[in-house]
Structure 1
Amino acid sequence: MIFISSVLLLSGCATHQSPTGRGQTLLFSSQEMSKLGDASFAQLKQQEKVSQNKATNNYVSCVADRVTAALPDQSLPWQVVVFESEQVNAFALPGGHIGVYTGLLDVAVNSDQLATVIGHEVAHVLANHSNEQVSRAQLTGAGMQLADVALGAGGIEDKSIYMAALGLGVQVGYILPYGRDQESEADIIGVELMAKAGFNPAQSIELWKNMSKAGGEQGPELLSTHPSHGQRIAQLQQMQAKAQPLYEVNRVSVKNTCQRPN
């Protein structure tokens, strides 16, 4: 086990600014976060059922590829995996990993709505929210073992803490929720990202209306730590004035329309 002081010495405690100008304390480098993301994604592929439906995989990959193609940094290849599950959920991890559960496709009823979710999850990675979460767990003592993985020591038996810190709390039963500021930030970045990818940002509002109807009073797994439906929809409505012009400019260049399978 490595003490926090060792982590601070090796990784450095640096204050950064998020894409929207919010201050962040990040203890880990992008390379270390990629290691955490790689390890978590590998474990999920072992414990979850990967979909073999070619049409569904092609559809989800089409949407995800368009979203990631709109990212400012194109140096990272993104891996997309569809998991066969009734969970209404999706996630993105450092290192270039996207997971979508088939249950989400019952709520995100078209490619624009699916792009809303994928854009939001990729935005968490883009804005270093996972690094914030892992750093918070480290500083509070909840994630003392995180350093072993991030610094290559390995040998951790219980990976639930760092997987939860990467936004996988629902899957591992240990939730370290993103904060309200992080969620709002991911909405802002995600909607702009989907609009740049040629997806209609107005559908983001319809998506969250669908989400509010799904799963009863508590809502689906994806919303277990998120702001209220009303707050999210209100913010998305305010964002349309900026997002719609981006969509109008970029949709004309879209060649792959990502047809949802029947």
Structure 2
Amino acid sequence: MRKILFTLASIALVTACATSPTGRNQVTLFPESQMSQMGSAAFTSMQQSEKVSSDRNQNRYVTCVVNALVPELNTVAPDMNSTRWETKVFIDDSANAFALPGGKIGVHTGMFNVAGNASQLAAVLGHEMGHVWARHGNERVSHQYIGTAGLQLAAILSGEPTAEKQQLLGLLGVGTQVGALKFSRTHESEADEIGLTLMARAGFDPRESVALWKNMAKQGGGGTPEFLSTHPATDTRIRDLQAQMDQALKLYQQAKAQGKRPNCHL
């Protein structure tokens, strides 16, 4: 943590321009190595404050899906090749999942009640990995850093839960009960597009992405699912997925022809 604080304190506020996977211009102040450190620190903090599942089936299931997606991500994003993905299942009834810079993935046990099969879970995790590849966390943290004139972002990851700590987790991509921050519609659209491509290339049925978001909308009766508090499933989102489905199905058929048939099950 001290190294993180020292490095953050030494960052010069020079605007860095980048381009997202879809060609959109971005403002990212932080080097990805720094974002990875922040993601790792956040992940460690969560493991200390939240209950981690030791259920072998649950952990094997999530790892299986991630392991099928990662090679496809590395193919379309060579700059992600050095990322070593780590997964944890958190004991929490809310339907939630997230991915942090540095390749840290968390899935709440409640997600298994909503994502009814491996393809639906792949839709969730491909979407979250899309946020990481597209540097959405970097964008959000950068804008927050500018807006607070040098807030020591890493410092608030240590110690007891605070509103500031929850806010930073939200910026990095973790939906939390307090201080949850929605990704912008632009970020969501990019993550949806990337996730759909990744799951199809990996041999997961892309049509299940639509089924997944319909399940999300139904989950919880009159309440709002935790995942939807930061990842709103709208009719527009479903229409966008359906508009991209023909291309995704072509990738899916190609994947099956190549023998890509992930055997992931809970």
Q: TM-score, normalised by structure 1?
A: 0.88
Which 10-residue stretch deviates more, 230-239 or 10-19?
A: 10-19
Which residue in 1 is equivalent to 2:77? none
**What SS is found at the alignment partner of 2:116?**
coil
**What SS is found at the alignment partner of 1:71?**
helix
| Contact 2:203–2:262, Cα closer than 8 Å, also in 1 | no
- Aligned partners of 2:122, 2:209: CA distance in 1, in Å? 8
How much has 1:182 moved relative to structure 2?
0.4
Which 10-residue stretch deviates more, 50-59 or 139-148?
A: 139-148
What amino acid sits opposite 2:39 in the alignment? G
1:184 aligns with 2:189: yes
- Aligned partners of 2:259, 2:57: CA distance in 1, in Å? 20
1:112 aligns with 2:119: yes
Which residue in 2 is equivalent to 1:95? 102
1:68 aligns with 2:70: yes
Which residue in 1 is equivalent to 2:48? 46
1:209 aligns with 2:209: no
Which 10-residue stretch deviates more, 84-93 or 219-228?
A: 219-228
Q: What's the RMSD between the two structures over aligned residues?
A: 2.2
**What SS is found at the alignment partner of 1:112?**
helix
Which residue in 1 is equivalent to 2:31? 29
| Contact 2:204–2:261, Cα closer than 8 Å, also in 1 | no
What amino acid sits opposite 1:189 in the alignment? I
- Aligned partners of 1:68, 1:135: CA distance in 2, in Å? 26
**What SS is found at the alignment partner of 2:230?**
coil
- Aligned partners of 1:53, 1:143: CA distance in 2, in Å? 41
- Aligned partners of 2:93, 2:149: CA distance in 1, in Å? 30
Q: Which of 162, 168, 171 in structure 1 is aligned with 2:168?
A: 162
- Aligned partners of 1:109, 1:182: CA distance in 2, in Å? 25
1:125-144 equivalence runs, <5 A: 125-141=132-148, 144=151
What amino acid sits opposite 1:31 in the alignment? S
Distance change >3 Å, CA 214–CA 29, structure 1 → 2: same
Distance change >3 Å, CA 14–CA 156, structure 1 → 2: farther
Report the count of equivalent residues.
Answer: 251
Distance change >3 Å, CA 212–CA 240, structure 1 → 2: same
1:231 aligns with 2:231: no
Distance change >3 Å, CA 259–CA 164, structure 1 → 2: closer
**What SS is found at the alignment partner of 2:98?**
strand
Distance change >3 Å, CA 23–CA 110, structure 1 → 2: same
Distance change >3 Å, CA 11–CA 67, structure 1 → 2: farther
**What SS is found at the alignment partner of 2:12?**
helix
Q: TM-score, normalised by structure 2?
A: 0.87
**What SS is found at the alignment partner of 1:20?**
coil
How much has 1:168 moved relative to structure 2?
1.7
Determine what percentage of the aligned residue pairs are the same residue. Answer: 44
Distance change >3 Å, CA 19–CA 105, structure 1 → 2: same
Distance change >3 Å, CA 148–CA 106, structure 1 → 2: closer
| Contact 1:7–1:147, Cα closer than 8 Å, also in 2 | no
**What SS is found at the alignment partner of 1:51?**
coil
- Aligned partners of 1:111, 1:208: CA distance in 2, in Å? 14
**What SS is found at the alignment partner of 1:188?**
helix
- Aligned partners of 1:143, 1:209: CA distance in 2, in Å? 41
How much has 1:55 moved relative to structure 2?
1.2
Task: For structure 1, list consecutive stretches of 5 or more residues without a partner in the other structure.
Answer: 1-5
Distance change >3 Å, CA 142–CA 209, structure 1 → 2: farther
- Aligned partners of 2:168, 2:149: CA distance in 1, in Å? 9
